[in-house]
Amino acid sequence: MSERCDLLITNLNAATMDPSIAGGYGVIEDAAIAVTKGRIVWIGPRRDLPECTPDRIVDGEGQWATPGLIDCHTHLVYGGHRAGEFARRLGGESYEEVARSGGGIISTVRATRGASAENLYKLAEPRLHALMAEGVTTVEIKSGYGLDLDTELKQLRTARRLAQHNSVEIVTTCLAAHALPPEYDGRADEYIDLICEQILPAVAREQLADAVDMFCETIGFTVDQCQRVIDAAKKLDLPVKVHAEQLARTGATEMAAKSGALSVDHIEYISDADVLAMAESGTVAVLLPGAFYTLHETQVPPIEKLREAGVCMALATDLNPGSCPIASLRLMMNMGCQLFGLTPAEALAGVTRAAARALGLCCSRGVLREGLRADIVLWPMDTPDQLAYEVGALKPARIFLEGRDITAC
């Protein structure tokens, strides 16, 4: 480390989430972190800190530092709401029944097509701010409520605009293969043609998406249709993610692992063979307990088998109007433990290190380590277990985005 640095944070305990440091949290007690040009240039025990002259010193006041939290799966740009359906499901109707009756995703598509870009922005920003207030410094936002060229582009442009006007990193994903639009009723293969030949090329030309996703499910698209979307994405050098095995086993995870997908998301109904395929391909398991809870699902993903196979397990909100209208990543940490049996340390890894990997960003964030982005959150707590244990009152004391103090933003 050179003598000068921009920022020095001392007098703190660090939960680095660095797997090369023993223990679930990679703890460094009484630590110091030096930052230059938005990157961590030194982290370690304060007593070992080399001579340096920082432009700015922040006293951590004995608090805990973690990497900035990452929500690697949201659909937070959409028009309207689905409170009416919530009541119908409480009345006993299933998610599939509501969808087949013309509600579900298609009702949000109607509202999103009818909303102006300005209005979509205004509706999305408070959802984004709710996540940022919890210490989230990177958010993934999917399209998927347009299902036509113009509205898919409108959604992705809105997500890019949110990044320009908010102190948070946003990565975007094109999920045009989310549901079949009414105008293509009974013509799913032709809609897949539209996605592969028009929507994805247009999205790539305007660099509006960092990845491509698809809903491979009984009420979504088939494995063959999704394989075509994957092939088209690969031609455009876009990585892929798959909503897989949420409601039944379809073969989606097997297809995704074979295609080198970044992640498979939901995965309640995966088989033992799917677990091994993910372990082999390095595809990340993105667990979405909020959708599990909201849909009254009972099939828990095979956490113990994933753990034994060494599959990387991430956690995310899946923030969307239908299956998870919950803008809280911290609540997902709690649910990941309570509903799925994760440990508190696995829950924090799920929204830092593993989430970065699910977005193909593990070289830049998700761990407090030299060379990575200085996305750092300070928490007024006694132990990192508190992050999964309690929800609501425990808030970040300080938030740094690439070394910039954004606490007040």
- Interface with ligand DI6 (CB under 6 A): 104-105, 108, 178, 215, 243, 246, 291, 320-323
Nearest alpha-carbon partner for 41 in 367, 369, 356: 369
Q: How far apart are CA 336 and CA 314, in angstroms?
A: 10
Q: How far apart are CA 218 and CA 292, in angstroms?
A: 17
Which residue's beta carbon is nearest to the bound ligand DI6?
A: 322
Which CB sits closer to Fe ion, 243 or 373? 243
State the binding partner of 289 from Fe ion, ligand DI6, none, CB within 5 to 8 A by kind: none
Residue 213 binds Fe ion (CB under 5 A): no
CB of 261 to Fe ion, least distance (A): 14
CB of 104 to ligand DI6, least distance (A): 5
In 3-state terms, what secondary structure has residue 132?
helix
Whether 112 and 78 have beta carbons less than 8 Å apart is answered as yes
Q: Which stretch binds Fe ion (CB under 5 A): 93-101, 165-173, 316-324, 350-358?
A: 316-324
CB of 136 to Fe ion, least distance (A): 17
Structure tokens, 275: 């677990």
Count the site residues for Fe ion by CB under 5 A.
1
Among the listed residues 152, 318, 346, 375, the single contact to Fe ion using CB under 5 A? 318
Max CA separation in the chain (angstroms): 69
CB of 58 to ligand DI6, least distance (A): 40
Which CB sits closer to Fe ion, 274 or 318? 318
Which residue's beta carbon is nearest to the bound Fe ion?
A: 318
Structure tokens, 64: 């805990």
State the binding partner of 174 from ligand DI6, Fe ion, none, CB within 5 to 8 A by kind: none
Position of tokens 């593993």? 354
Q: Where are the beta strands (DSSP E) in 164-303?
A: 169-177, 211-216, 241-244, 263-266, 284-287
The 116-155 contact track toward Fe ion, x by CB under 5 A, reads: ----------------------------------------
The angle, 0 to 180 degrees and rounded to 10, between the axes of the packed helices 149-164 and 105-114 is: 70
